[in-house]
Chain A
Amino acid sequence: MAKQLAFHFDSSACGDCKACQVACQDKNSLPPQMMWRRVFQYGGGNWSPENDIPGLFRASGVFSYSVSTACMHCQDPICLKVCPAEAISKRDDGVVLIDQSKCVGCRYCEWACPYGAPVFDETRGVMTKCTFCEDLLAQGQNPACVDACPVRALAFGELDKLRKQYGNVDAVEPLPSDEYTHPSIVITPNRHSQLSGTGTGTIQNLPEEV
């Protein structure tokens, strides 16, 4: 298999601090409404009333965990396939990039990508997305999100090696099934993690947070 860079995300370690998200905004000078990396908090369960004591509730199956997401630099990138302007390309190392000088700003990739990775830049009229911090990679450094994580829940590397080390999970709720694009993501699940398609919870973030 050709070289494919990938992120590893350890959901069992993530504490939902969103440092990765903030580091991404900072490194890429993104305004608040443009988010290349987003941390989803997924949770469910309910509270049942205690019969004898009014006003007291007992937790029943309440759970919550977080998933940090960005562009998955997919093995089968649907954004690249649908782009009418050949503005999206996949490098030899598997990184998927948008060339803004070729983009027509039709936002078709936004409709196609199930990870919401392509983000429209209203001021320039073109699409943008996670670049895997290709400029930092070229200098031998880590992507900003990876370095910002205080609990080392984010890492990156060769997809094959990460799979061998951490397993094959690439789709937990609220992520979509991996069938659409074969995302280059390796997830160490949280003890509460539910596989995509089997979810009993909902996204807990406010809409403007993600």
Chain B
Amino acid sequence: MNIREWALIAFTILTQMSVGSLLVLWLAHYYVNRKVGMKEADRLSDYALLSLVVMFGLAMVASLFHLGNPLNAPRAVTHLATSWLSREILGSVIFGFLVLVLGVMQWRKIGSFSLRNVIAWIAIIAGLALVFIESRVYMLPTEPSWNTLATPVTFYTTALLLGSLAMGVAFVANYAYLQKKDPQSSKVQAELVRDSLRGIAVASVVLLGIEFVAIPIYVAYLSVGNAASLTSATLMIGPFGVVFALRLILAFIGAGIFGLFLYQSARSVGEEKTLGYLAYSAFVLVLVAEILGRFLFYATQVRVGI
């Protein structure tokens, strides 16, 4: 693994996390807006939206480190007719642009809520399409360990799992900031953060369940395939067995155990500090688990042929 391959890990994880984050952020924003109005909804999500723009910006920068000849990077969108990679680059640019537009409209309060709502949902749909396109990039007929349903399934779970927990962190961090600035008016926000985090906790436990069903089926499927696919399965449980185990354990602790604690602590009033620690820990654990998972995705790839 060299810098070019780490660039791909960073790019795919960050783009997927951004897509999941936008979905979770906007669901929370929408819910809060209906419950207590736009002012509180904006207070909850405006800084979180900023973190999302930064996240996606980093993804785009990371992608350049993958190229041997970055000066030609604009050429990478020229072969849309048959290349999924071209479509991925274009999809990323479109999603990034929409997020930026939404961000500027939110911060400057341009347009009505319903207009911003429409833009947000267009961006979310573009993002979900981007995750699908990203999975198709890897589904090459000559790459049996990538050319399975597991690729889109794991890309979407990564998006939603990391997106949920990243926004969990953004909400508690935002709350801590608001409380410092104005302790009086942050009471409403405390309740909204608790509501959002309960939803996030439930989502992370469910998504962990999906991951824990998909991964064993995937490894079993590889081990009954052709020679290249069998080699991938052997690499996964043999030489990379420790990484594989660590990836599962960290995801289990982060999304499962911390997810349950998160839910528990988000139910009781006045535990904002604990809630913060839990949200941070769950996110960091799952982020490491997902990075290890993506590392394995590339490290256990075996192409057919010579």
- A residues adjacent to B (C-beta < 8 A): 38, 40, 69, 78, 81-87, 102-108, 111-116, 120-122, 124-127, 174-177, 180, 203, 210
Contacts and interface: CB of A to CB of B under 8 A. Distances in A.
Given A85-B72, A105-B68, A111 B78 contact: no
5 contacts: A85-B72, A103-B69, A105-B69, A111-B301, A112-B140
Nearest to A105: B68
A80 to B, nearest CB: 8
Contacts of A105: 67-70, 72
A99 B303 CA distance: 24
A176 B227 CA distance: 11
B241 interface: no
A78 B142 contact: yes
A180 B141 contact: yes
Given A69-B306, A78-B142, A114-B306, A83 B68 contact: no
A176 B75 contact: no
Given A82-B83, A85-B78, A103-B69, 6 more contacts: A38-B306, A82-B85, A105-B68, A105-B70, A105-B72, A126-B69
A116 B69 contact: no
Interface in B59-99: 66-70, 72-73, 75-79, 82-86, 89
B140 A111 contact: yes
B143 interface: yes
A115 B69 contact: no
User: Size class of B's contact patch?
Assistant: 20 to 34
Nearest to A78: B142
B38 interface: no
A106 B66 contact: yes
B305 interface: yes
Contacts of A180: 141-142, 304-305
A204 to B, nearest CB: 13
Interface of B: 4, 66-70, 72-73, 75-79, 82-86, 89, 137, 140-143, 301, 303-306
B142 A126 contact: no
* Interface residues of A, dominant DSSP: loop
Quick one: which of B72, B82, B137, B306 has the most chain A CB within 10 A? B306
Contacts, number: 109
B222 to A, nearest CB: 17
A176 B141 CA distance: 12
A104 B67 contact: yes
Contacts of A177: 304
Contact of A112 (B67, B142, B306): B142
A126 B72 CA distance: 10
Nearest to B89: A84
B41 to A, nearest CB: 39
A168 to B, nearest CB: 19
B83 A81 contact: yes
Nearest to B140: A112
Contact of B84 (A82, A85, A114, A203): A82
Contact of A176 (B4, B89, B305): B305
A36 B76 CA distance: 25
A102 B75 contact: yes
Quick one: which of B69, B83, B89 has the most chain A CB within 10 A? B69
A174 B227 CA distance: 12
A125 B306 contact: no
Nearest to B83: A84
Quick one: which of A108, A124, A203 has the most chain B CB within 10 A? A108
A176 B83 contact: no
B68 A84 contact: no
A38 to B, nearest CB: 8
A106 B67 contact: yes
Contacts of A120: 68
